[in-house]
Structure 1
Amino acid sequence: MIDRRPIIMTARMGLDDFAWANGLRRRYFPPERNHIAAHITLFHHLPGHYADQVVQCAKAMAGQYAAPSAILSDLMKLGGGVAYRIESPALQTMRAEIAEQFHGLLTAQDQGRPRLHITVQNKVAAAIAKETYAELATHFMPRPLSITGLALHRYDGGPWEDMGEYGFRGKTVAAG
């Protein structure tokens, strides 16, 4: 039977950056809704019935490209939450290349250029989000963010099912 559950592609953070972001997510995200670890979504819904091609694409990208540079550039207000904005022209270039490979199969949400970010709080009252934003803003300074690879996950309405992680090990630096 063909597995049609959507595939989510994320960018993996370095261990220290992941521990920091996931700690913030555990602190600020409503626990009853926090079913997944901190992440950077590149695609929300790659077609599940093309799983072999999605895996091959992720492996090929990780094998070809060096880890992209990235910066935590700002805080973002999400209305009912807070996220950290990520600036990474090289990661955006890689993402555009992947999008081209799946042209005609992407959802509307995945067709445009994403605002890369790490969500640390979501689905809370606006007043709580405003307090969190103010608290995090007092300590925020832009800084480098380590991006180490790509990860794939199946989505079925709750926690994600891990499909694989692929570390960047190539020599090509993505233009950006």
Structure 2
Amino acid sequence: MPAPLRPLVVTLALPDDVQSELDALRRRWFPSGRTAVGAHLTLFHAVPGELEDQVRADLAEAVERGPVAVRLSGVMSLGKGAAYAVESPDLARRHDTLQRAWWPHLTRQDQQRLRAHVTLQNKVEPAVARATVESLRAEFRPADVEAPGFDLWRYDGGPWTHLARFAG
């Protein structure tokens, strides 16, 4: 019996300028040595790799409606980290559609309601995280973003391998 394929990760694809800004914030605030993956908004953390063909088809269909309107709406505490909160009824609808399509194969984490955010810092002491949240809040300005679509990655035991971008 062949070994199971590595899991797939699905993220929201962000415009290059927004991605660059978020990557810079992540490099600034994320613990050193742990920034192999850039800033990202994870929609699904571990879709079975055996579903790759279906995932690709479903993501292609999900972007047929065009870009995804999202709002970077505020700074949120993660307890041991900090993130930008993201609001988007459009993203929530598309996530729900994909979630229903893959439901029997999803982990408990991926079956939860989407709490969209971009993690800028994680796995630090709570006091450090609180200071980061305060600093980010002092500089934060809400932003409306047209996200082009979705990125598909393969989890390779630490780093991720980019497989495809699905853009509307």
| TM-score of the pair, normalised by structure 2 | 0.94
Q: Which amino acid aligns with 1:30?
A: P
Q: Which moved more, 1:1-10 or 1:28-37?
A: 1-10
Aligned to 1:143: 143
Q: Aligned partners of 1:3 and 1:61: how far apart in 2?
A: 26
Partner of 1:61: helix, strand, or coil? helix
Do 1:2 and 1:49's aligned partners in 2 also have CA atoms closer than 8 Å?
A: no
Q: Aligned partners of 1:33 and 1:124: how far apart in 2?
A: 11
Do 1:85 and 1:117's aligned partners in 2 also have CA atoms closer than 8 Å?
A: yes
Q: Aligned partners of 1:152 and 1:72: how far apart in 2?
A: 22
Encode CA deviations 1:33-92: one digit per residue, 9 max, x unaligned: 111011111111111111111111112222x21112111111110111100000011011
Partner of 1:8: helix, strand, or coil? strand
Partner of 1:4: helix, strand, or coil? coil
Aligned to 2:12: 11
Identity %: 37
For structure 1, the 5+ residue unaligned runs are 169-176
Q: Aligned partners of 2:145 and 2:122: how far apart in 1?
A: 21
Q: Aligned partners of 2:84 and 2:21: how far apart in 1?
A: 12
Partner of 2:148: helix, strand, or coil? strand
For structure 2, the 5+ residue unaligned runs are none
Do 2:66 and 2:167's aligned partners in 1 also have CA atoms closer than 8 Å?
A: no
Partner of 1:152: helix, strand, or coil? strand
Aligned to 1:82: 82
The aligned length equals 167
Do 1:8 and 1:41's aligned partners in 2 also have CA atoms closer than 8 Å?
A: yes
